[in-house]
A and B are shown apart, each in its own frame.
Chain A
Amino acid sequence: MDLERIDNIPTDTIAGFRVRPGKPLPFGVSSVPGGLNFSVYTSAGTACTLVLFSRSESAPLGEIKVPDHYRIGDVYSIVVYDLDYEDLEYGFKIDGPFDPVQGHRFNPDNILMDPYARVMSGRDEWGVEPDWSKPYQYRSRVAFDDFDWEGDTPLEINDADLVIYELHVRSFTKSDSSGVKFKGTYAGIAEKIPYLKSLGVNAVELMPIFEFDEFENSRTHPDTGEKLFNYWGYSTVAFFAPKAGFAATGKFGMQVDEFKQLVKKLHQEGIEIILDVVFNHTAEGNERGPSISFKGLDNKIYYMLTPEGYYFNFSGTGNTLNCNNPVVRNLVLDCLRYWASEYHIDGFRFDLASILGRDPWGAPLSNPPLLEALAFDPILSSCKLIAEAWDAGGLYQVGTFPAFGRWSEWNGKYRDTARRYLKGDSDQVGEMAQRVQGSPDLYQWNGRSPATSINFITCHDGFTLADLVSFNEKHNEANGENNCDGGDDNHSWNCGAEGWTEDEGIKALRTRQSMNALSMLLTSRGTPMLLMGDEFGRSQHGNNNAYCLDSPISWVDWTLLTSNKLLFDYTQALVNFRHQHPCLRINRFDHPGSSHLPSCSFHGTSPWQVDWSAESRQLAWLMSCDKPDSKLMDAVYVATNTAHYATWFDLPSLPQGYGWHLCFNTGDASTPHHAPTTPYNEHGILVGERSVVIFSASPSET
């Protein structure tokens, strides 16, 4: 016989609702038999009222003042019975002092969103103009969190074996050319899983999917009249809720199921999912911004404030979350634990992560409690933790980010070095040699490994790969800011003409430079990351900061998969090559190498000799290891020539019983890659101008 609980009987009636004292944990809303438990905390608030709505109604169903004797510590909790939780929307009114100098901005008339809301309504369909007259814009809702995972668990792929693919949920399939049914949504990505699988990537990194408001700071282009949005979403409203506007079922409130379905489907195909998370600031802005949640709950706790009560702005967006305050730290931990356990997320990339290492007054901490807590959290222990190791307040911590042995970093130095080397800048050979090994100069000193380095040449910030080789200057006119936004230090080269050209020679060079970039990236030790569409030449027409564009400029044009098939095939072959060769994925700086060759050695036009001078434009690297479970040696030789003339490279000799096979040659425009079935019997190779060749070693046929 199942016994009824003795603590589940209503004890009071308030505003016509049957209620009883709730439990402080878990925070947010949770089911109890016959009712819902609501829990919210505020250290400086003096009273709490739960406000209930029926879905989309302007007037509340009721307002329940939570009795003070229901409070435990700073937490107000209450159980409310007989609610239709599929129809319910709720929020809180918190009373307290309004004293901005002291950091308090309470307003008892303002309805606040539950910071632990697992579903949010108010922006259910992307781009649908909100009813701005509604008093409560971003509404907390109850999630159905049951889901049939069919035995799914996080994949726990080794860091060094990852090939990460960064994408924006809407951009990836919004274009009609995508051919998917559910364009611009989580379900749309699921339809493209066969494509991702064929490309060979084994991790997708999604730009922000925590609820944000695409209408935040939305405006109209002063010249074209086009609507400009908060498109990228680096401005979180609800940390525990997947964005409904990215779900085909968002209008039905089923984004939780749809997103979990995407995770499950990706995992079934061996693809991890990493989320880009934004804990450095919130959508509430500064003192002129809206009070959505934190500002009205506990402003002084959640934000870094100046002595006068204004908002420190290390994020460049108006406010800075006070991440090393214990309360905020717990929120961040709760959030990530929730996504890891409820959604089976494999990893997190932290936007402007250096902010997470600042103290409440903005000073960098040597042992930031939050970063340490994340590094050692038991639920997150298998999650990838990736830091964008800088912020907008002057901190640049690539190589010095407080890693606690766990964090990896977006390696901005890899990006800059690779770009400069690619376009033939002087004095890059020495730097490049560091980068292709996994940047030991940055990471070996504190015991980290090559996979600490997330190697990338392009990402959402900056040019696409096609534009990197097509433009010298940014062209962000579509953003409506007179081309003043976006970075200027792009280290790009247009190959002879700015933008679109009919010159076949320039077009061929651009294709070759794209292949060169991908060749270097995918034969470097560390963890490579690709930007969506780079594998077939996606262009944003020179826009290097398309943060506000919900238009074909941002959307992936899938017709390029056909018109640039050569580039796609090349990229696909490179990704597969990387998976086939463990010597490229060695994850120790002190690796002993194979039985015959060192782990990583550098060569020039002559083997074992490098011209390290500033004017050198030739560098080759030879990586080697013993194959696991085999007596055979794995070896890959990559020769790069960034000069504007062809250069002969003598090949290093291989041990007895092995021969070289030419696998890739970007200088061969018609056949830049081929299966390594034919032994290469020459002692060297003429590497074309601005070209890369890649060889693999195989046992000689006897």
Chain B
Amino acid sequence: MALTIDVVKGDVHVTLVLNGDVDTKTAPDLLGHLTSLELHALEQLRLDLIEVDFVSSAGLRAIVFAKQKMPHSSRLYLIGPSSEIVETITKTGLAQAVVIVESEAEI
């Protein structure tokens, strides 16, 4: 399934709204968007996953890769990931890089 990515820039944060699946085919798109954001200076990144059904290994790695490029004190929020995505990143240890919230209002 194709992936669309909308970028919304806020005062202190950037939100990427994703729609579709993040897998080997689409992870490079996500990575491209992420690396164009000057991550090294970004204090807060939000990924809206409400409309995302599936994130594969490649997709999760793109997210972790992004966090590694950000300042140590920064936060990477995953908004509204499905329970399956939450469980997968928890079981595989990829959750330590992110903060999971159900909605943007919680941030």
Contact = CB atoms under 8 A, between A and B. Distances in A.
Residue from the set B64, B92, B97 with the largest chain A CB neighbour count within 10 Å? B92
A185 B57 CA distance: 19
Contact of B91 (A85, A144, A148, A187): A187
B85 to A, nearest CB: 10
Given A144-B57, A252-B88, A257 B24 contact: no
A257 B23 contact: no
Contacts of B61: 144, 146
Interface string A73-114: 000000000001111000000000000000000000000000
Interface in A162-198: 181-182, 185-187
Given A86-B23, A87-B24, A148-B64, A254 B93 contact: no
Contacts of B90: 187
Contacts of A242: none
A249 B64 contact: no
Contacts of A249: 88, 91-92
Given A144-B58, A148-B64, A248-B87, A85 B94 contact: no
A182 B24 contact: no
B58 A86 contact: yes
A148 B93 contact: yes
Interface string A256-289: 0110110011000000000000000000000000
Interface in B85-107: 87-88, 90-94, 96-97
Residues of B in contact with A, size category: 10 to 19
A258 B25 contact: no
A257 B25 contact: no
B56 interface: yes
Contacts of A148: 64, 93-94, 96-97
A521 B56 CA distance: 47
A260 B93 contact: yes
A388 to B, nearest CB: 31
B93 A257 contact: yes
Nearest to A143: B57
Contacts of A261: 91-93
B68 to A, nearest CB: 8
A180 to B, nearest CB: 11
A144 B58 CA distance: 8
Contact of A254 (B23, B92, B96, B97): B92
A84 B88 contact: no
A593 interface: no
A-side interface mostly? loop
A626 B88 CA distance: 50
B12 to A, nearest CB: 26
Interface in B53-80: 56-58, 61, 64
Contacts of A185: 91
Residue from the set A144, A185, A265 with the largest chain B CB neighbour count within 10 Å? A144
Interface in B18-72: 23-25, 56-58, 61, 64
Contact of A86 (B57, B87, B94): B57
Contacts of B24: 84-87
B100 to A, nearest CB: 16
A253 interface: yes
Nearest to B95: A261
A258 B64 contact: no
A254 B59 CA distance: 12
B94 A257 contact: yes
A33 to B, nearest CB: 14
Contacts of A258: 91-93
B3 to A, nearest CB: 14
Nearest to A262: B93
B56 A86 contact: yes
Interface in A488-520: none
A693 B90 CA distance: 46
Contacts of A86: 23-24, 56-58
B23 to A, nearest CB: 6
A150 B24 CA distance: 25
Contact of B25 (A84, A147, A253): A84
A701 B61 CA distance: 61
B57 to A, nearest CB: 5
Nearest to A181: B87
Contacts of B91: 182, 185-187, 247-249, 254, 257-258, 261
Nearest to A265: B93
A351 to B, nearest CB: 28
A146 B96 CA distance: 15
A85 B61 CA distance: 14
A187 B25 CA distance: 28
Contacts of B92: 249, 254, 257-258, 261
Nearest to A147: B93
B56 to A, nearest CB: 6
A252 B56 contact: yes
Nearest to B67: A148
Nearest to B24: A86
Nearest to A252: B88
Contact of B57 (A150, A181, A247, A252): A252
B72 to A, nearest CB: 13
Contacts of A265: 93
A301 B23 CA distance: 40
B15 to A, nearest CB: 24
A402 to B, nearest CB: 39
Q: Which 3 A-B pairs have the closest CB atoms?
A: A261-B93, A257-B92, A86-B24
Interface of B: 23-25, 56-58, 61, 64, 87-88, 90-94, 96-97
26 contacts: A84-B24, A84-B25, A86-B57, A144-B58, A144-B61, A146-B61, A148-B64, A148-B93, A148-B94, A150-B96, A182-B87, A187-B90, A187-B91, A248-B87, A249-B91, A252-B56, A253-B57, A254-B91, A254-B92, A257-B92, A257-B94, A258-B91, A258-B92, A261-B91, A264-B93, A265-B93
Given A86-B56, A146-B61, A261-B91, 7 more contacts: A85-B24, A86-B23, A148-B64, A148-B94, A150-B96, A254-B91, A257-B94
